[in-house]
Structure formats: C-alpha cells, structure tokens
Structure 1
Amino acid sequence: MFKHMHRHHCGPRGGGEWRRGPFTVSWEVGGDHDRGRGRGRRMFDGGELRLVVLKLIADETRHGYELIRAIEELTGGAYAPSPGIVYPTLSLLDEMGLVAEQQSDDAKKRFAITEAGQAHLAENQAQVAALIARLTELGAHRERTDGAPIRRAMGNLRMAVQGRLGRGDLDDEKLHEVVAMIDELAQKIERLR
C-alpha cells in the first residue's frame, strides 16, 4: 500500500502525492464536474470519512443531508460526498456504537455521538484535526480561486431541490412553485447590470 505524505497540492479540487520507497504517485482530483467522483483519488481513504462524520456529529446532532452540506461548506463547495457514501458510513458508525439514533420531530434519522464515539475521537484527535484542516484548506483555496460563494449557494440550491424531490411530497402545485422560483431567480441574474 502507498503511504500518504502530509504534503498536499490543491488544484481546483485538490490533489497530492503518495510515496512508498522509490515510488511516487501524484494525483489530481478531477474538475468541477466530478463532484468527488470520476478520475483521480477519492477525497477520503479508509476510515477518514468515518472520522470526519463522527467529528461533525460530535459538534452537533445531525442527519445525513446535514452532514453532506457541512462537508460541502467546509470545502467551499469543492467536494460533497454522495448519499451513497454518507448513509452507509452513518449505519456503520451506529453499528460500531460510536453514534446513536436520536428521536426527531421529522422523519429524518438524527444521530448523536456516544461515549464510545467521544473516546474514539479523542484517540484519533491528531488525524481528525488534520482531516478538518485539509477540508478547510481546500475550501479556502477554492474561495481564493474561483467564485466559491456562488458555487456554494448553487450547491445549497441543488441540495434543497434534491432533498424536496427525494422526499416525494411535492404535488403538482408545489412543483410548479419551485420551478417558478428558480426561473424567476435566473431571470433576475440575467438582468443584473
């Protein structure tokens, strides 16, 4: 296996270098359209995503969608993990006894950290700090280089619309309202001088 070096090269979505002995493998995560998928190295390896999710849940009780948004905000919109990665991670953390489902007023499963989860975070404090620093560094780089606030806002809009569509509770009238709001916003942006 290659061992990760602490040196990171941040392109639009990040990149870096892995070394083992005489071998060096450089990587560059794909462009803006990849959203964490496609060519290049994954954003997280092994248990890294579990640690990030656990840290975010330790900060406040959250459900899967909130975790996706929190990670996306840390990176300034440069990376958002897919639900297909986040929800199995939550299930695994729950099975490991590191988080526990909490009662919620809505249908979403909210999770809180357990004592075992707090202990696990404490044992891995340095790695957690490095992971959060890596995400915020990527976000800071993105903000400096390419209109991150607009991309973040667009990502929030996308996630909100996908969330509502995913719940399946939009009747035709509400669906037309959402479409009208998006169309109105697009027209206002086109008219900006």
Structure 2
Amino acid sequence: MFVYFEKSGHGCHSGMHHGMHRGWGRHARHWGGRDSRGEGRRRRMFDGGELRLVLLKLIADEPRHGYDLIRQIEAMTGGAYAPSPGVVYPTITLLDDMGLIEARQSEGAKKLFAVTEAGTAELDANAELVATLIARLTALGEDRQKTDSSSIRRAMGNLREVLMNRLREGDVDADMLHRVVALIDETAQKIERLSPR
C-alpha cells in the first residue's frame, strides 16, 4: 500500500509571490513504488505547485471551502489519498493572495471561494498539466476500487489465518511446506489467467 503525505505549514510555498505561479509543477514527480523489501514507500502525491492547480481546478468547477476540497480529493481517490488541512488551508490563502480565487459567499461559518478571471486564465495556461493531475487522482481511485474489495480482503485474511495456524502446528514438515507453496503458486497462476466474463 502506498502512503501519500504532504508537508504541512507555510514552508511548502516559501518564496512564492504574485506573478510567479506560471507553469506550476511543470516537472511532475513520480509517485508510488516499492522499496527493496516490497514495502510501500512514503511519497508526496503532488509537488506544492501541482496541488495548487488541483485546488484551483476544483474551485473553478464550483465554489468550495477548505474541508470540501479535502473531501472531494479523497472521494476522487476512493479514500486512498487526502491532503492534510495543514497543506490545503495555507494553499487556499496563497491562491487568494495571488488573486486567483476570492471569497464570494459563506456557508454558515465556512467561507466559500470561487475562481476569478485570473484563476481561469491560469487554468487555461496549464490545461494539459491540470488534466494530467486530475487523471492521476481518478486513476488512483479506480485502482483502489479494483483492489479494495471487502470480499477479497476477507479471503486474503482467511488464507493468512489458515497458513499461520498450520505453521504453528508441530507436524508441519518440509514436504507439507512444498505442497502449500505449490497450491499458492497454482492459485496465483489461475487468478492471473482469469478473464472477465
């Protein structure tokens, strides 16, 4: 499982000021992967500039507040990723300071932000990158949906428990271990050869 994280606090956009936002995140960072032990590595889902574009795009779709932005990204990824409030709220402030969004209405105590003409122009100038970033989120959600079936998790947990119980027994010899491994390998091969009906 990949673990995605974002740096929190205002340091993620130090040195940014008006007029310096053109071409944000032009060099997209690779994300996901596994280390030499096969464990998920911690990777940032977005560079700071890339996240700004994603938030700007979502606000352009409809006026939103900070929590709604977090919730929307989490929904798009099927719960696999959600930016932290410590990253989202300072980024919203930055977008507001840059004149790319503005507060237009309130939903109770929550301030809703809408895109400005400058924000729309920024999205148009980075349309290809924005489409790539949104596709990244969507693909992550589709992948999560394929691999996060509750029935599959139950079956995998059942297999693990059976294996652990048998291995704890004192009568497990090398021949039995070889047969268990052969069964698992055979099942894996059958699953790999499955095709949709």
Which residue identity lines up with residue 121 of structure 1 in the other structure?
Answer: L
Deviation at 1:28, TM superposition (A): 2.8
SS of the residue 2:110 aligns to:
coil
- Are the equivalent residues in 2 in contact too, given 1:52–1:132 (CA < 8 A)? yes
Q: Give the superposed CA RMSD.
A: 2.5
Give the aligned partner of residue 4 of structure 1: none
Q: Percent identity?
A: 64
1:63, 1:109 within 8 Å by CA — same for their partners in 2?
A: yes
Q: Name segments (4+ residues, structure 1) moved above 2 Å.
A: 11-14, 25-30
Distance 1:147 1:26, change over 3 A: closer
Give the match for residue 73 of structure 2. Answer: 71
- Tell me what 2:146 maps to: 144
Tell me what 2:59 maps to. 57
Once the two structures are TM-superposed, the CA of residue 102 in structure 1 deviates from its matched residue by: 1.5
Q: Say whether 1:112 aligns with 2:117.
A: no
Rounded Cα–Cα distance in structure 2 between residues aligned with 1:27 and 1:147: 20
Residue type of the alignment partner of 2:48 = G
User: SS at the partner of 2:95?
Assistant: helix
Residues 1:82 and 2:84 are matched in the alignment: yes
In the aligned structure 2, how far is the partner of 1:120 from the partner of 1:28? 31
Unaligned runs of 5+ in 2: 5-29, 151-197
| Count of aligned positions | 121
Partner of 1:178: none
Matches within 5 A, 1:1-193: 28=33, 40-147=42-149
| Structure-2 change in CA distance of 1:52 and 1:77 (3 Å) | same
CA distance in 2: counterparts of 1:117 and 1:51, whole angstroms: 10
* Preserved contact between residue 121 and residue 128 of structure 1 (Cα < 8 Å): yes
Q: What do the CA deviations read for 1:132-173 (whole angstroms, capped 9, x no partner)?
A: 00000000000000138xxxxxxxxxxxxxxxxxxxxxxxxx
Paired residue secondary structure (1:78): coil
- Tell me if the contact between 2:31 and 2:43 (Cα under 8 Å) persists in the aligned partners: no
- Gap runs ≥5 in structure 1: 1-10, 15-24, 31-37, 149-193
What secondary structure sits across from 1:66 in the alignment? helix
> Given that residues 64 and 87 in structure 1 are in contact (C-alpha distance below 8 angstroms), is that contact kept between their aligned partners in structure 2?
yes
1:109 shift after superposition: 1.2
Deviation at 1:40, TM superposition (A): 1.9
Bigger relative contact order, structure 1 or 2 (CA pairs below 8 A, ≥6 apart): 2
- Looking at structure 1, the residues matched to 110 and 71 of structure 2 have their Cα atoms a distance apart, in angstroms, of 15
- 8 Å CA contact 1:13–1:29 kept in 2: the answer is no
